[in-house]
Chains A and B, each alone.
Chain A
Amino acid sequence: GENVEQHPSTLSVQEGDSAVIKCTYSDSASNYFPWYKQELGKRPQLIIDIRSNVGEKKDQRIAVTLNKTAKHFSLHITETQPEDSAVYFCAASTRGNFNKFYFGSGTKLNVKP
């Protein structure tokens, strides 16, 4: 089955700096890669996703890049703010109706004001 590895496990940045979280996956059949943000005591929320036919996707201060050849994808957050502090999870899923999501172990991002 699929194996998703996520790094780093913790990340501390100064407000205004950029943050990058990286994930690798093992199954070349995976074609959908979402990122979730989970604040303390809350549900994971989908913040951005990318499909395998796209190399990069942006939404305001966040972006995701995908390298299918190397089987890795990354989350980029620019101009970080204290409210970006949370745990971020990456995931990989294979095509079709019968999706099974494999999650990374999470990155705890701390943005210092």
Chain B
Amino acid sequence: KAGVTQTPRYLIKTRGQQVTLSCSPISGHRSVSWYQQTPGQGLQFLFEYFSETQRNKGNFPGRFSGRQFSNSRSEMNVSTLELGDSALYLCASRSGTALSYEQYFGPGTRLTVT
């Protein structure tokens, strides 16, 4: 099976702009989670989507939002970008069944805000 893919891989934006990141999960996986990774804060959970519904949300401001489509692909949007939003954004997919816990990460999108 193909792994989790993310596009774009690199992105440079300026403060105040907005950005949309995309994640395609492993085929058959219905759960997609998003994480922000920074050197100082480690891996921080943003939100999780399952069957087009947000099921869990981390402690991030409302500028961070997401959605999931019927084919399980997910997008994450950050509006009014701030310098502190510069980070590696990782998505991870799981099958979403109660018996399957394993989570697999995509390569990430490196966002730089100037």
Contact = CB atoms under 8 A, between A and B. Distances in A.
Contact of B42 (A45, A96, A100, A103): A103
B25 interface: no
Interface residues of A, number: 24
B90 A44 contact: yes
A34 B48 contact: no
A106 B48 CA distance: 22
B55 A98 contact: yes
A42 B101 contact: no
A43 B107 contact: yes
Contacts of A95: 98
Interface in A76-106: 89, 93, 95-106
Interface centre among A34, A44, A46 (most CB of B within 10 A): A44
Contact of B50 (A34, A45, A93, A97): A97
B103 interface: yes
Contacts of A49: 101-102
Interface in B70-108: 90, 92, 94, 96-98, 101-108
Interface of B: 31, 33, 35, 42-43, 45, 48, 50, 55-56, 90, 92, 94, 96-98, 101-108
